[in-house]
Structure 1
Amino acid sequence: MPFLDIDNVTKSYGNVEVLHRVDIGVEEGEFLVLVGPSGCGKSTLLNMIAGLENITGGTISIKDRVVNDVHPSKRNIAMVFQSYALYPNMTVGQNITFGMEMHGIPKPEREQKLAEVAKLLQIEQLLARKPGQLSGGQRQRVAMGRALVRDPDVFLFDEPLSNLDAKLRVDMRTEIKKLHQRLKSTIVYVTHDQIEALTLSTRIAVMNKGYVQQLGTPKEVYDTPANMFVASFMGSPSMNLLPATLREANGGLAAELTGAEGQQIMLNLSQNGPNLRSYLGKPVILGIRPEAITDADGVDRNAKNTQALRNMVHVTEPAGSDTFVETSLSGKACIARMRADVDVHAGQPFDFVVNMDKAVVFDPETEDRIVD
Structure 2
Amino acid sequence: MGFLDIRNVTKSYGFVQVLHEVNIEVQEGEFLVLVGPSGCGKSTLLNMIAGLEGITSGDISIKGRVVNGVHPSKRNIAMVFQSYALYPNMTVGQNMTFGLEMHGVPKPEREKALRDVAKLLQIENLLDRKPGQLSGGQRQRVAMGRALVRNPDVFLFDEPLSNLDAKLRVDMRTEIKKLHEKLKTTIVYVTHDQIEAMTLSTRIAVMFKGYVQQLGTPKEIYDTPANVYVATFMGSPAMNVMPARVVVKDGIPHAEIKDAKGAVQNLRFSQPNLADWSGKDILLGIRPESITDPDGADRNSKNIVSLRNLVGVTEPAGADTFVAMELGGKDIIARMRADANVRSGQEFDFAINMEKAVAFDPNTEERIKT
Q: Which TM-score band applies after superposition, normalised by the shorter structure?
A: over 0.9
Amino acid at match of 1:291: E
Which secondary structure state, in structure 2, belongs to the residue aligned with residue 318 of structure 1? strand
Query: How far 1:104 sits from its partner (Å)?
Result: 1.1
Counterpart of 1:178?
178
Q: Which runs of 4+ in 1 moved over 4 A?
A: none
Unmatched 5+ residue regions in structure 2?
A: none
Q: Which residue of 2 aligns with 1:65?
A: 65
Question: What SS class does the counterpart of residue 12 from structure 1 fall into?
Answer: strand
Q: 1:129-168 residue pairs with structure 2 within 5 A?
A: 129-168=129-168
**Equivalent AA in structure 2 for residue 330 of structure 1:** G
Give the TM-score normalised by the residue count of structure 2: 0.99
Structure 1 counterpart of 2:91:
91
Match of 1:370 in 2: 368
Distance 1:94 1:349 in 2: 66
Mapping of residues 159-238 of structure 1, within 5 Å: 159-238=159-238
- Alpha-carbon separation, structure 2, partners of 1:223 and 1:347: 31
RMSD, matched Cα: 0.6
102-111 or 148-157, which moves further after superposition? 102-111
Q: Distance in 2 between matches of 1:277 and 1:157?
A: 45
Counterparts in 2 of 1:292-331, with a 5 A limit?
292-331=290-329
Residue matched to 1:6: 6
Amino acid at match of 1:265: Q
What is the letter of the counterpart of residue 27 of structure 1?
Q
- Which stretch has the larger CA shift, 243-252 or 115-124? 243-252
TM-score by length of 1: 0.99
Q: CA deviation at 1:282?
A: 1.1
How far apart, CA to CA, are the structure 1 residues paired with 2:104 and 2:329? 67
Measure the CA separation in 1 of the matches of 2:124 and 2:249.
Answer: 66
Amino acid at match of 2:58: G
Aligned partner of 2:142: which letter? V
Query: How far is 1:263 from its partner?
Result: 1.0
Offset of residue 118 of structure 1 = 0.3
Gaps of 5+ in 1: none
How many residues are matched? 370
1:351 is aligned to 349
SS of aligned partner of 1:357: helix
Secondary structure of 1:180's aligned partner: helix
Partner of 1:336: 334
Q: How far has the Cα of 1:278 moved from its partner?
A: 3.2
SS at structure 1 position matched to 2:37: coil
Task: Provide the identity percentage.
Answer: 75
Q: Deviations over 1:42-92 (max 9, x none)?
A: 000000000000000100000000000110000000000000000111110
Q: Report 1:17-96 matches (<5 A).
A: 17-96=17-96
How far apart are the structure 1 equivalents of 2:130 and 2:67?
A: 35
